[in-house]
Amino acid sequence: MWKQLDGILTSFSAYFEKRIWLLQIFLSVLLVFAFWLSRFYLIRKIQKIRISDHVLAGHHVMARNILAMLFVIGMLIIWSQQLQSIALTIAALSVALSIGFKEYLMCAMAALYRAVTRCFRIGDRIEIGGFRGDVIDHSLLFTTLLEVGPGHESERRTGRVVQVFNSLFVVHPFVNESFGSAYTLHTFIYPIRIDENWKLARELLLQSANKICFKYIPKAQHFLEKLAADQGVKVPDAHPSLVMQIHAADRIDLLLRVPVPVDQKAQVEDAILVDFLSAFSRNAPSPITRPLEQ
């Protein structure tokens, strides 16, 4: 009799070894049945306990969660071989996708970052990865700029259109020169030899700045106050200001900061320099150095 029983079990085991998925399905069905039976049994037992409804509900939840956790663990054990194969396939596919589509994924991440943070918008002047210009379009993959340059010394458009991958916004810091859109504080440099009348140049340059920019000061100050309140920083003064730096033994740099509309930096700077040079040439006939921009 025992030999017959052992033969039956051996045949049963050999049958399921060839059809492992049938055994897994059988064990899964058995586990589901055991789960529902245990749940029903525990609920009946808990309901017979004389405790408050609040505590009873807590026991119900605890029992349900424990059984659910055991059920999941059991399913993972039963199907571990198939799950391991699936996990390896997913990992290999993920590696292949990350390598093959790395640039596109980074572009999509940057586009999502831009949409969430609104770090720039159409019309803003930005600099990223050595490219500087006004944003005229942006998509999931590219941001299109009207190039401004050359370098930082010019505020004029070159006439060229530049398309940059959005992935640059993930790996490079970028500057938004138009943050806040309406007004900004623009700084440029006027160099003068140390043996010239720099006191007169300083006075006349500041006068020219006040003369040209006085109409922008009230709106610029209001705008900067609003921006400072939104960002929680100290309110900058919108009035023109000038500081001096000794650039070399024979040269002084006059750094002038003025309020300007974002889209009129070049025009305002040019007007200030023309007015200043006219006044300076009348009062100081000696040769002066060519102005630099920043």
With beta carbons less than 8 A apart as the criterion, state whether 148 and 157 touch: yes
Per-residue confidence (pLDDT) for residue 291, from 0 to 100: 47
> What is the 3-class SS of 97-147, one letter each residue?
HHHHCHHHHHHHHHHHHHHHHCCCCCCCEEEECCEEEEEEEECCCEEEEEE
Reduced to 3 states (helix: H, G, I; strand: E, B; else coil), residue 35 is: helix
Give the whole-angstrom CA distance, residue 99 versus residue 95.
6
Average pLDDT over residues 129-149: 84
- Across all residues in the chain, what is the average pLDDT? 77
- Which residue type occupies 100? G
Reduced to 3 states (helix: H, G, I; strand: E, B; else coil), residue 158 is: strand
Q: What is the pLDDT of residues 235-275, one digit of tens each?
A: 778 889 898 888 777 888 889 898 888 778 888 888 999 99
The predicted model scores a pTM of: 0.51
- Domains for the chain: give ranges and CATH numbers: 2-97 (no CATH), 116-176 (2.30.30.60), 183-283 (3.30.70.100)
Q: What is the pLDDT of residues 212-228, one digit of tens each?
A: 988 888 888 888 777 77
Per-residue confidence (pLDDT) for residue 292, from 0 to 100: 46
| pLDDT more than 90, % of the chain | 2
Residue, of 27 and 179, whose pLDDT is higher: 27
Q: What is the pLDDT of residues 19-30, one digit of tens each?
A: 666 777 777 888
What is each CA distance from 21 to 11, 25, 29, 60, 71, in whole angstroms? 17, 6, 12, 34, 19
